[in-house]
Amino acid sequence: MLQDIADGSLNLMMNVYRDMLPALGGYLTDKDRIHLPRVELFLQEISRREPLYFQQRAVDEKDEAYGTEDYRQHYYKVINR
């Protein structure tokens, strides 16, 4: 099962960005350039939530492998079938 926007991923990213914006000290872009330190902080926060996503996916799809520490390997094995 491939991810798509319908699963709420884009909403999650926008909510995280909105919540982080005051602490970031500005936007992810600065005029015509990407502000890399802010992007790094944003991506760290998104990645911090990844295990929670896969724990929920394990429940939703009744696939215990998504709930383990090896969820990444399982994910790539499944999508490459």
Report the C-alpha gap between 67 and 22 in whole angstroms: 33
Q: What is the pLDDT of residue 3?
A: 52
- pLDDT greater than 50 at residue 1: no
Taking only the tens place, the pLDDT of each residue in 6-61 is 677 888 899 999 999 999 999 999 889 999 999 999 999 999 988 988 898 899 88
Tracing tokens 């890399």 back to the chain, one arrives at: 36
Q: What is the pLDDT of residue 28?
A: 96
Q: pTM for this one?
A: 0.74
Report the C-alpha gap between 42 and 28 in whole angstroms: 8
